[in-house]
Structure 1
């Protein structure tokens, strides 16, 4: 009875808080209330679905650039709705199973961490001058402590729900969580893919553009996308290995490819390092999880040494083709690799004489077709496509019809396709591309001959395995493209030493701000790094700030520029999203007050978050107004905004800022119009504070972050909080690898996710992103509860002594 009452109280608290947030949602209440009710109903009738829903939509459910909310966000509504339905179900679903127990370790660590966070939250309020509630406070307000601290409590709120599901559903719970995290990787990667297609193009690795996907938290820099990728990429491997149908396997392969592309286009050295640590660790830990058939087919043939040789060969071929043959030559090489993987099985039925005659036939006919194709528009591409479509089905003729000549025809077609691939590279890169292309093709041909006539197959004749190798080839080629296809990544690596020196200095400055014994023990307070950095660090590092002020019922925006020379990227911007259909020419009208001559900058840019794709801009210098409002009229100039391709439209953003160093101004009644006269802005008079407005610091990022996970926690929560964070993490890893959860199928993937996250955290704060911190704490707390539940299941089944195969099936 007591448990029912507790569950009901939690559900009522969740619906009260969630309803309050939904009713105050800045861009309308119908959608958030409807969504809240829908999630609550789903959680009541299908409690386990939240394990899929929450991780899946989390990367694309942050709308701060539209709402203006920073302290609160859609994550809060999502978790509170889930808690409403889940705990209500518990309240009306009878008593909890008598076998359900709470881990003493999990309970103790949760209590201690909660106390630490609450203490640091209170210290954050005090450091901000006292607690004042507000919907639209920035990072220097007391509500930023709430923003940072809520993630742990939101994750903790879901753990009893997961524990109940784990108790009743067993391994199905972990599989649904794994599926949800894998889908979350997919949604984040698709968002990153859209961003690249819209603003740089798919294969542009030279532009100074790092993917942010839909993580608005990167508006002042940071590594939100980096941390999300490393937390979720291990589950793409989990999805690949647990695919039960060809369709699922193909989807999983696509997911791995998307994740690889998203990771590469972060251009983050931390991401690359974390992947180099986490993925080999995952491969080592899961080597014993291969199915018996997979072990027989793959492990005996392809051990570590074989895979290393394959990676070297793939990298060599891609390295020979790409520098001069470009992406088109590389794509032609992919097609050859895809076909060559299935060739040995067909060629084993061919004699040496047939093989030689087929090669000569293919060489003669292929050369003739190559010559003719060069007289046609796009002829090399057309010929390659034709020969690929001829060769690919020919591989399967022997399985459908008994055609004796099929292997010979297939080999002749393949040789012609090889010549066509070289022609594609030459058509794109000129004569200079041919030596590299023929070098790669010669290497491939020699491997194929060896595979065709060896007594033992060189690789498994399994489509799933071959799909995995092809995905590996894509990843290797992606690395070659990033490092060889543009100067951007090379430039980043060339500055690694100086960048590390800068980080070390930044970390020392952050720690030096902890001056009292209370600071060292309990931290300055959650989310107080930006505000303290403003005052503790030399003024040249000040990045700019803003404040909404009100007097006699009138509100306005007070804007202060950075205290260092300002380039276009250094402008501290106050921005608002515009509709996709917004088209110029644009005119801006506003009122300004300033005590000194100030250069006001306004712009409309095609912009996702930090990097503009195209802009129309305007500026005006306003003289001192002697406390009087001065009207300003600015016509924006520049090339017409393209809008982006139809399949990846570009977002648009209006921004205003101050161009002169240490400039300050008061702004009000901001209006953006077109020739049609319609105002495109909302809340331009700032009567609703920062509703619909959003700030960005496009290039000046260091003042906003401690730039190290452990330093950030030390600054926020002191030695006590840092010790508890490390203890929580170490205990979770111990449970997964040495404790009672070590044999659980999902343990290696959770371990790899945690380790990858921590490696990225060597170079960025991470826990100052609520969505990211929520998922990390959810993984950690779930890992601790998983160990306890594993013990209970072992006790429950010890008397049954079921065969091992039956236990696996359960």
Structure 2
């Protein structure tokens, strides 16, 4: 699909407000019409079978179709922005299909129909304006990737005993192959539409892609913020609780949130670096800080490693783009009015100064927090804020006068500091008041700056006030932490004072050159630096104040050995050259590990079965050691029960004694809290008389007879959390006897006011509304390495193809034809970050993460900057 808007077919023209709709005029447009109809049929069928409400899902799907038709160039926004928030599996029970599939089919239906009917058609664009172009080699590579994935899915069906369709299949059944392989096919299905969009409006398409990823990051980070606020508290870094946000794919562990963050955060940072609009900058800064907090609360060593590995190349590539844009002349650097001019790269000495300032603050923060706690760290933060806002007029006096200002300022600050110390010792809380007074003095002096005027006395006053602020920071740390706070904060204060002295005497080290009162982008640079200070503070606070993170960092060697053992055991599941070459099949690691792996890999499972009269759930426990939280759970999200007793009616049978766990908890995904439940021992019921000829199903399987039991959970208080930080309420059932099996025909739960809390308790709608999880035992569910995951499913052939595409995209966007595309640095950073996190987790077995990854990978193989566009044309 190379162009949009061929010659109009006037016979089919009809007015629709200001829109124009024409009949397809080319073969490409007729193919697009067929694609749109195909997407529509599949999407409508999926929506109608949605477990929560078919009519509502169909109406919502139709609304997205309409939006996609009206804004078909911006379909990346419609697809990517809601992605982290629309995973409703804990409510629906769907895992083979999900809301992402509805989004893709809706955007594909609306987009392809709009293209086919030439809605908002544009004149045919010349070849030089095509923003997404694939060479013949890349086209062959894409076809090979698709064939490898399709063959892997076919092998997965065969390994599962043949293809069998099911709306609610689990990890052992055939539809899990579809779940694992579908991401690349969904992206490939959208790629022709995106190619047409990038041809019609290349900048609009790129801006849509950027906006979609930034909005997705905002939504995912907001969900992480809610989760911490509701379940742990914002500053609790010691509780054994890793953020999962709304990524249901982490119900059996994994790193879906980790992969999502490293794939999207670079785009928010790139937008933040390049926007010139103050309000956009403010919004972007909030998003970046939220994302940084989410990254921190994953407690993932892979994320902590991936971010520097990814962001350093991004900054270098963005800097190289700026240099090329500046070298090509003002014409290439021209931009639209909303974005401003391209910033000149920092001189070398200024970069040294910036690194020295960053290192000094990181060291000072660690020292101050260790002795002075959060209050000392806050005082240090304001010291650095005042330092970053030092007026440019301080460097106007000659060197001798600046040296005199330093010496006099130091002496006067020592006198003020000594007096402040005595006052703080005599008057309670005076340390905090003096710190605020010093901060206000610094702010007042900054406000009284006279840009462009050399005023030696003013330099003395500013230096004195700032040095005094440093001493009050030491006093605050001493007041809070005693002797240890005094000495650690004192060492930090001396280091910062020495750094400021060097920078005042040598202006070329000051990293904010040209960002004074007359610098147009001065506020941006300072705001970015302040945001960096906040991130450093958060990292220091998490490391210094959170025992959980320190424990995880300390156990990296033991965890690494566990990973190596798990990888070796996973690769032993490949038998023969054929499986090594072509893989065992998509979605087949979990069942292969279950049946052929060690006992610890035989986790719990469920099957929905049907006897002649009704459906029932066969629930089995794992054979590994069932410690706290390691049971296999079947759960359902329920409304908060009314305070009071809760009763459960259970129709069940079992072959042997089985300890069952029935609980109502406040729980997002895998960390239960405020649990109320019982653990009844279920015993088999045997028929008194032998069965007639032919027997019954219970006798054939060795199971006992069906029996009905009543249980009381006791008095359950009000659950659900606060209105401003609500908690989900979940009912779960599990077995705490190794290798036990219990069949459940019906289950009902009633609160004190007679409300029925469970839906589909008789399983006649299959597993609709029921969801499963393994809260703590995660290794059997993932091979824990993205490359090994591809090797296991697609063999060496698939790994070579995907690895080649990955390397080709990196090289193309770093050194090839795509290097000057505005989004190239962020895509490179996202792919590198994905690779770093993927070294320790599978990632591609989470379809939403796979969809984002393949979107960036396949676009990275074709994106190119328009001639003369330059980096300044920020998407």
What TM-score do the two structures reach when normalised by structure 1?
0.91
8 Å CA contact 1:614, 1:641 repeated in 2: no
SS in 2 for 1:343: coil
Which shows bigger deviation, 444-453 or 762-771?
A: 444-453
Q: CA deviation at 1:332?
A: 2.4
The answer to whether structure 1 residue 336 and structure 2 residue 383 are counterparts is yes
Give, in whole Å, the separation in 1 of the partners of 2:527 and 2:111: 40
Q: CA deviation at 1:171?
A: 3.2
Q: Deviations over 1:532-569 (max 9, x none)?
A: 11110123321110111122341221111110221121
Distance 1:381 1:573, change over 3 A: farther
8 Å CA contact 2:812, 2:819 repeated in 1: yes
Map 1:54-133 onto structure 2 (within 5 A).
54-93=79-118, 99=127, 103-133=135-165
Give, in whole Å, the separation in 1 of the partners of 2:856 and 2:83: 14
Q: CA deviation at 1:168?
A: 1.9
**From 579, 582, 590, the counterpart of 1:530:** 590
8 Å CA contact 1:56, 1:181 repeated in 2: yes
In structure 2, what is the equivalent of residue 579 of structure 1? 639
**From 269, 273, 287, the counterpart of 2:305:** 273
In structure 1, what is the equivalent of residue 264 of structure 2? 232
Q: CA deviation at 1:669?
A: 2.3
The answer to whether structure 1 residue 299 and structure 2 residue 324 are counterparts is no
Give, in whole Å, the separation in 2 of the partners of 1:458 and 1:592: 74
In structure 1, what is the equivalent of residue 201 of structure 2? 169
Give, in whole Å, the separation in 2 of the partners of 1:47 and 1:53: 9
Q: CA deviation at 1:220?
A: 0.3
Q: CA deviation at 1:764?
A: 1.1
In structure 1, what is the equivalent of residue 816 of structure 2? 739
**From 725, 747, 767, the counterpart of 1:690:** 767
Q: CA deviation at 1:269?
A: 1.6
In structure 2, what is the equivalent of residue 397 of structure 1? 448
**From 265, 270, 282, the counterpart of 2:314:** 282
Give, in whole Å, the separation in 2 of the partners of 1:751 and 1:557: 47
**From 467, 475, 481, the counterpart of 2:541:** 481
Q: Deviations over 1:300-336 (max 9, x none)?
A: 4422x43442332112111111123222322222122
In structure 1, what is the equivalent of residue 707 of structure 2? 630
Q: Deviations over 1:16-74 (max 9, x none)?
A: 11111111111113432232122211221111222223222111111100111100011
8 Å CA contact 2:319, 2:345 repeated in 1: no
Give, in whole Å, the separation in 2 of the partners of 1:806 and 1:711: 37
Q: CA deviation at 1:155?
A: 0.6
Residues matched between the structures, number: 794
Q: CA deviation at 1:638?
A: 8.5
Give, in whole Å, the separation in 2 of the partners of 1:204 and 1:389: 31
Give, in whole Å, the separation in 2 of the partners of 1:226 and 1:66: 23
Rg bigger for which structure?
A: 2
Give, in whole Å, the separation in 2 of the partners of 1:484 and 1:2: 64
Q: CA deviation at 1:682?
A: 1.1
The answer to whether structure 1 residue 158 and structure 2 residue 190 are counterparts is yes
8 Å CA contact 2:749, 2:758 repeated in 1: yes
Distance 1:586 1:202, change over 3 A: same
Which shows bigger deviation, 256-265 or 417-426?
A: 417-426
In structure 2, what is the equivalent of residue 663 of structure 1? 740
In structure 1, what is the equivalent of residue 223 of structure 2? 191
In structure 2, what is the equivalent of residue 359 of structure 1? 413
8 Å CA contact 1:606, 1:641 repeated in 2: no
**From 652, 676, 691, the counterpart of 1:616:** 676
SS in 2 for 1:679: coil
Distance 1:612 1:143, change over 3 A: same
8 Å CA contact 1:578, 1:653 repeated in 2: yes
Which shows bigger deviation, 712-721 or 29-38?
A: 29-38
**From 717, 723, 731, the counterpart of 2:800:** 723
In structure 1, what is the equivalent of residue 57 of structure 2? 32
The answer to whether structure 1 residue 500 and structure 2 residue 552 are counterparts is no
Give, in whole Å, the separation in 2 of the partners of 1:581 and 1:369: 57
Q: Deviations over 1:325-365 (max 9, x none)?
A: 22232222212211221135465579738746863675377
8 Å CA contact 1:361, 1:412 repeated in 2: no
Distance 1:373 1:138, change over 3 A: farther
8 Å CA contact 2:376, 2:473 repeated in 1: yes
Map 1:539-618 onto structure 2 (within 5 A).
539-579=599-639, 583=643, 585-618=645-678
Which shows bigger deviation, 42-51 or 388-397?
A: 388-397
Unaligned 5+ segments in structure 1 are 795-801
- Computed over aligned residues only, the root mean square deviation of the Cα atoms, in angstroms, reads 3.0
Give, in whole Å, the separation in 1 of the partners of 2:473 and 2:676: 43
Give, in whole Å, the separation in 1 of the partners of 2:719 and 2:545: 26
Distance 1:644 1:412, change over 3 A: farther
In structure 1, what is the equivalent of residue 364 of structure 2? 317
Which shows bigger deviation, 652-661 or 484-493?
A: 484-493
In structure 2, what is the equivalent of residue 11 of structure 1? 36
Distance 1:140 1:356, change over 3 A: closer
Distance 1:585 1:522, change over 3 A: same
Which shows bigger deviation, 32-41 or 208-217?
A: 32-41
Give, in whole Å, the separation in 2 of the partners of 1:751 and 1:179: 17
8 Å CA contact 2:586, 2:793 repeated in 1: yes
**From 293, 296, 299, the counterpart of 1:261:** 293
8 Å CA contact 1:264, 1:479 repeated in 2: yes
In structure 2, what is the equivalent of residue 799 of structure 1? none
Q: CA deviation at 1:132?
A: 1.6
Distance 1:809 1:200, change over 3 A: closer
8 Å CA contact 2:643, 2:716 repeated in 1: no
Distance 1:236 1:714, change over 3 A: same
What TM-score do the two structures reach when normalised by structure 2?
0.84
8 Å CA contact 2:641, 2:719 repeated in 1: no
Which shows bigger deviation, 769-778 or 277-286?
A: 277-286
SS in 2 for 1:548: strand
SS in 2 for 1:662: coil
**From 862, 866, 869, the counterpart of 1:785:** 862
Q: CA deviation at 1:423?
A: 4.7
Which shows bigger deviation, 176-185 or 93-102?
A: 93-102
Give, in whole Å, the separation in 1 of the partners of 2:321 and 2:719: 51
Q: CA deviation at 1:409?
A: 6.9
Q: CA deviation at 1:426?
A: 4.3
Q: CA deviation at 1:675?
A: 1.6
Map 1:377-388 onto structure 2 (within 5 A).
384=435, 388=439
8 Å CA contact 1:362, 1:415 repeated in 2: no
8 Å CA contact 1:344, 1:451 repeated in 2: no
**From 496, 500, 510, the counterpart of 1:448:** 500
Q: CA deviation at 1:763?
A: 1.1
8 Å CA contact 1:345, 1:452 repeated in 2: no
In structure 2, what is the equivalent of residue 753 of structure 1? 830
**From 237, 241, 259, the counterpart of 1:209:** 241
Give, in whole Å, the separation in 2 of the partners of 1:43 and 1:579: 34
SS in 2 for 1:667: strand
8 Å CA contact 1:39, 1:81 repeated in 2: yes
8 Å CA contact 1:766, 1:772 repeated in 2: yes
Give, in whole Å, the separation in 2 of the partners of 1:131 and 1:178: 39
